[in-house]
Each structure stands twice: as structure tokens, then as C-alpha cells.
Amino acid sequence: MNRSPTAAQVLVVGAGPVGLLLACELARARVRVVVVERLAAAMNESRASQLTARTAELLHERGFDALLAEAGHEPRAHFGGLGFDLSEADSGHWGNWKVPQYRTEAALAERAAELGVPLLRAHELVELTRRPDCVVCGIRGPRGPLRIRAEYVVGCDGARSTVRRLAGVPVTAVPATRELLRADVTGVRVRDRRFQRLERGFAVAATRGGVTRVMVHVFGRAPAERTGPPDFAEVVAAWKKVTGEDISGGDPLWVDAFDNARGQADRYRSGRVLLAGDAAHWHLPVGGQSINLGLQDAVNLGWKLAGTVHGWAAPGLLDTYHAERHPVAARMLDYVAAQELLMLGGPEVEPLRAVFAEVLGVERARAHLAAVMSNLDDRYGPPGPAPMGRRVPNPRPRTEPVVVRPGSPDTAPLLLRPDGHVAWVGEEGLEEAIRGLIRTRAIPREDEEGRCGTVTRT
Ligand SMILES: Cc1cc2nc3c(=O)[nH]c(=O)nc-3n(C[C@H](O)[C@H](O)[C@H](O)COP(=O)(O)OP(=O)(O)OC[C@H]3O[C@@H](n4cnc5c(N)ncnc54)[C@H](O)[C@@H]3O)c2cc1C
């Protein structure tokens, strides 16, 4: 008997890291959410293995300390191959946290299961029909076609998003001009090198447990037309051309190519359809930002969508997801393009690298870069001096906004969003700020010991 659900408040398409975290956020807020995933089994590649300080904070607050404990802590990062220190980043989880993507996905999938989220594997979304009060989704599953009616659909289905295409969301994109080849190889002796720029190209090599990962780019070479991964012979030839070394005697375990195509959906919301993660923005995976942007999209969207489904969200709250997250990714696309130029540009970028290296010696410049690359300087909501728009340290993960009165009676109240960002500071204007988040209902007031009162709205 086919026990697949036929209705959901939210259908999440894609069980990558972003879809899984969003499903957890929604389930935590008591939204009936279903996830469909095209793959029959979990992905087992390391892919995006770097979590930034802001992502680590969010995971810690949600009880994923075991995942963080298995991650390696990196106190340094690089910008286009130029190293800099992250210790000046203002976070209890400063630094980068290295853990293979399949482990992150496994932890998130386990939590989603604990929260009772149905995850339908080997189910591919192929059709979207919009109705005034819902979206009807056509799914291809192992036991034939299936229809799921959902109040909202979120495409977390990766850079080639089917949801984005079916919803007709326009994109602004720059086609690929550069390509990198990489392979995991056994039986070769190649010395480790990080971001080595040579006369003819760029090379990286690292050997761990007898497996050598090589990554290579030939300066000025355009990306090949591909229908699948490259042959190992292509990697061998490129490696030879750039480094002069012969790795043809090695045994390839995995070969892959990726390019610098980048782009962004022009709208993250189209009526009842939303986009998050790589479906909303994609770029060369340099500097390891993509999974972090996506996980932070999920946290920004989760409570707003839950509030909309439950009916307490103020009109327009859901649209702030696009308004807040689109500029964050647009800025990061510029940072990635700048890194790509510094790292993969030919000899003509050497003067730029020299200047940039000098600027990185300036403490304020370094601190700025550490904050941006750790995703710590994103601010949301009305302008104003700190803490307006910033995240408070160690916020309790909530599912609804709350007014907090820290400490002594003369301290200004803070209107806190469920994602920990300060939506308002002070008594004056507080009611209006609350009305910007919630429709009609009581909003909990909470002092720093966690005692709650209520503000009654009409
Ligand atoms: C091959 C590959 C290698 C990568 N390597 C790196 C790397 O080295 N470093 C780095 O920082 N980043 C890397 N990335 C990028 C990184 O993995 C992504 O940024 C990250 O996974 C984004 O998560 P996501 O959940 O938005 O999308 P994804 O992880 O892409 O997840 C999307 C999910 O949606 C599913 N799906 C797609 N279409 C449908 C459909 N129609 N119906 C149902 N399910 C669907 C897919 O099967 C997939 O599981 C790589 C990505 C890929 C694809």
C-alpha cells in the first residue's frame, strides 16, 4: 500500500543540507512538512566541508554539538589563496569547522527523523501547478506518480533547481569561463601544496591516509563541454602541463570537474513557491561559502514560513526573506568572484595579489574580512546602531518573536526574532516593530531569567 502523504503545509524539495535544516526548523515550529528527494540513498561525498562561525553558532544552538565535535577546527582561512587569521572574529565559535558534507547531512537527516518529518527518497518533483490556496506537486516515485498538495513549496533542489525552472523564476547568471579538475588518487607520490600558482596554472595537492587529492586549473583554458565527469587522462595531462609531474601511474578513485558559473535567482519568493540554498544562488566553491549561505537561508526562512502557515506572521513578513537574504548572497558572489580572480587569474593579477597581501597586514582590514567570511556581519531589519539588526550572543532557539527585558529596570527592552536578531531596541516604537513581525496575538515577554509575561496585541 502506498503510504506516501498527499498533503502538507510545506513541501521541501531536496534533502541536501539546506532542505534538511529547513525541514527541522519547520517541524520544530509544529509545521506539517514533507521532504521529497530524487536520490534513493544519502549522498556520500565530502563536497562542502567547511562550516563558518555563524553556521557553527546556529548548529550549536540547535543541539548539533556532536557534529561540531567531530569537525576539525581551522583558525585560519584564505582569500583567493592568501592566508589570514580568523581569531579576531567575534564569536564563541570563531574559525572554520571542517566536516564532510555527508556527515552534516546525516546529522540533519537524523534530527529530521526524530522530529517526525517524512522524507520520501527516490521521489522526484516533476510538475508544479499553482492554485490560489495551494500548490499541487507532481512527483515521480518508485511506485508510480504521486500528487502532493502543499500550502507552500520550497525548492532546496540545488543549482539546477527544477522548482526554480517550473516556477519560472528569472535568474541573473554569468556563464563559466574557467574550470578546475580534481581527482582522488592512490599510488602516486606528490608533495602537498596549498594554492600553488605556477607559470601555467594553479595546483593543489594533499595526501591523507594514502589518498592524494589533486586539483588543477590551466590558466586561460576555457571549460570543456561535458555530459559527465572528465577522464582521469585529462587530469593527468593538466597536472603535467601545470606542475611538470607525472601522475599517470596512479589509480583514480573519483574524478570531478567544476567551473566558475555563478548566478542568483532574481526573486527568492514567487507566490507560494520559495527558493533556498544553491537553488537560489550558486558559484565556484572557493572559500567554502555556499553551504553556509544555504543553511543560513534556511534559518532565516524557517520561522517566517512557520508564522505564515500558522497565521501569526504580519503581512509582508515572508517577503523579508528575499529582502534580507538576496543581498547577502549577492555580496558573497562578488567576494567569490574577487577570490577567483586572485587565485585563478594569470600572471597579470600578480600586482593585485601583492597589494591585497599588504592590505591583509592591516588589522582592521583583516578583522573586516574575518567577519565577512565568517558570516558574522549580516544585519537585518531597520537601520540603527548596534545591537539593532545584529544577533545577540547565544540566543535560545525560538519559534516566535519575543520581547526580552535584560537585567535592571532601566535597560531598554529588545524585540528578538526567533533567529536571534534584534528587531527593535527601546520602548518607543516597540509596538510598531512588533506589528512588523506579527499579526494579532500575544507576544511573549521574557526577562533575562526566562520569565515570561505578555504584550497583548489587538
Ligand atoms: C558534485 C558537487 C561537488 C561539490 N563540491 C563542493 C566543494 O568541494 N566545496 C564546496 O564548498 N561546495 C561544493 N559543492 C557545493 C555544495 O555541495 C552545495 O553548496 C551544498 O550542497 C548546497 O546545499 P543545497 O541543499 O542547497 O543543495 P544540494 O546539496 O545540491 O541538494 C539538493 C538536493 O535536491 C535533490 N533534487 C534535485 N532536484 C530534485 C527534484 N526535482 N526532486 C527531488 N529532489 C531533487 C538533489 O538530489 C539533492 O540531494 C559541490 C556540489 C556538487 C553538486
Give the tens place of pLDDT for each residue, 205-235.
Answer: 999 999 999 999 999 999 999 999 999 999 9
Give the tens place of pLDDT for each residue, 76-127.
Answer: 999 999 999 999 899 999 999 999 999 999 999 999 999 999 999 999 999 9
Domains in the chain: ranges and CATH: 7-49+100-173+263-344 (3.50.50.60), 179-259 (3.30.70.2450), 402-456 (no CATH)
Of 24, 37, 47, 299, the one to substitute when testing ligand 1's pocket (max ligand atoms within 8 A of C-beta) is 47
Please tell me the residue having the least CA distance from ligand 1 atom 16.
48
For the Cβ of 287 lying below 6 angstroms from any atom of ligand 1, the answer is: no
Closest ligand 1 atom to 20 CA:
25
For the Cβ of 107 lying below 6 angstroms from any atom of ligand 1, the answer is: no
Closest ligand 1 atom to 256 CA:
1
For the Cβ of 184 lying below 6 angstroms from any atom of ligand 1, the answer is: no
3-state SS string for the chain: CCCCCCEEEEEEECCCHHHHHHHHHHHHCCCCEEEECCCCCCCCCCCCCEECHHHHHHHHHCCCHHHHHHCEEECEEEECCEEEECCCCCCCCCCEEECCHHHHHHHHHHHHHHCCCCEECCCEEEEEEECCCCEEEEEEECCEEEEEEEEEEEECCCCCCHHHHHCCCCEEEECCCCEEEEEEEECCCCCCEEEEECCCEEEEEEEECCEEEEEEEECCCCCCCCCCCCCHHHHHHHHHHHHCCCCCCCEEEEEEEEECCEEEECCCEECCEEECHHHCEECCCCCCCHHHHHHHHHHHHHHHHHHHHHCCECCCCCHHHHHHHHHHHHHHHHHHHHHHHHHHCCHHHHHHHHHHHHHCCCHHHHHHHHHHHCCCCCCCCCCCCCCCCCECCCCCCCCCCEEEECCCCCCCCEEECCCCEEEEECCCCHHHHHHCCECCCEEEEEECCCCEEEEECC
Give the tens place of pLDDT for each residue, 327-369.
Answer: 999 999 999 999 999 999 999 999 999 999 999 999 999 999 9
For the Cβ of 16 lying below 6 angstroms from any atom of ligand 1, the answer is: yes
Determine the distance separating the centroid of ligand 1 and the alpha carbon of 158, expressed in angstroms: 5
pTM: 0.95
Tell me what pLDDT residue 406 has.
Answer: 73
Tell me what pLDDT residue 450 has.
Answer: 41
